[in-house]
Every structure is written in C-alpha cells, then in structure tokens.
Amino acid sequence: MHWLDWAIVALFMLMSVTIGLAMRRRAGTSLESYFVSNRAVGWWLAGTSIAATAFSSDTPLLITGMVRRRGIWGVWEVWALGISTMLAVFVFAKLWKRANVMTEVELVELRYSGRAAAFLRGFKAVYWGLLYNCYVIGVWPVTG
C-alpha cells in the first residue's frame, strides 16, 4: 500500500479509539443500559436497527449475482425478507418495546410456557444457529 493509504488507515483507527474513549463516560454500567439504552430508544430507531443488520457490503453482490443467474424473478426470497423486515420495523418493534424484554428468548418465555416454549427455543436455536448460519457462511465467501 502507498503511504497515503497507511495514513488514512491510521487516521481512521485513531478517530475510532478517540471516539470510543470519549464516549466511555456516557456508557452505562448495566446490561439494560448496554443492550437497550435504558429503554430510551424509540421503537422506530430500534426497528431501523433491525433492518440495518440485514445489509452489508456483500448484499449488493449477492443480489446482483442472483439476478444475473436467475433473472429478476430469482430474487423472490429477497422480497420476502424485505416484507418481513418491514413488518418487524413497523409492527413488531412497537410490541417488543411494550413487552419490556431485552432478548427474543425473553419474549418467547413471556408469551409461551412449558413444552411449547422449550420446543420453540430449541427449534429456533437449531434453525438460526445451525442451518441458517451454515447457509450464510457458505454464501459469504462466494459473494464477498
């Protein structure tokens, strides 16, 4: 890399550390403060954060590759994810905030009990933790 590249990287790192140290005083000491900002964040901002987690630098590459291989009809699953993400932002984020929980597991425990709740937690752990993550780990090197 050229010296200018190294200077930009060093400046970025210095700015990141400086901002982190400056904001350290504003950081809370409890889990609730760290994870849910003492519940001071509005539902719309929390919902937008949910939607933002679905995007990264590899997303445009993945979608472009899918359109090239399959045609525009081949990205139907992306549209389905988009619709479900909008539901999460505009419907479920409000309900989640009203439920006064920090995690999805707490939400499941609040809503369900007994064997049904245990099954749902186990199913979600296997599906998201094993099957979906294996898919993502397989797709990411191809697209990124």
Widest CA span of the chain, in angstroms? 62
Boundaries of every domain in the chain: 1-40, 44-100, 103-144
| pLDDT tens profile 73-116 | 888 888 888 888 888 888 888 888 888 888 888 888 888 888 88
Is 47 buried (19+), middle (13-18) or exposed (0-12) by CB count in 10 A?
buried
Q: Which tokens belong to 63?
A: 């979608």
E strands present in the chain: none
Q: Are 101 and 107 in contact (CB under 8 A)?
A: yes
- The percentage of the chain sitting over the pLDDT mark of 70, rounded to a whole number, equals 95
| pLDDT tens profile 112-134 | 888 888 898 899 889 988 898 88
pTM > 0.95: yes or no: no
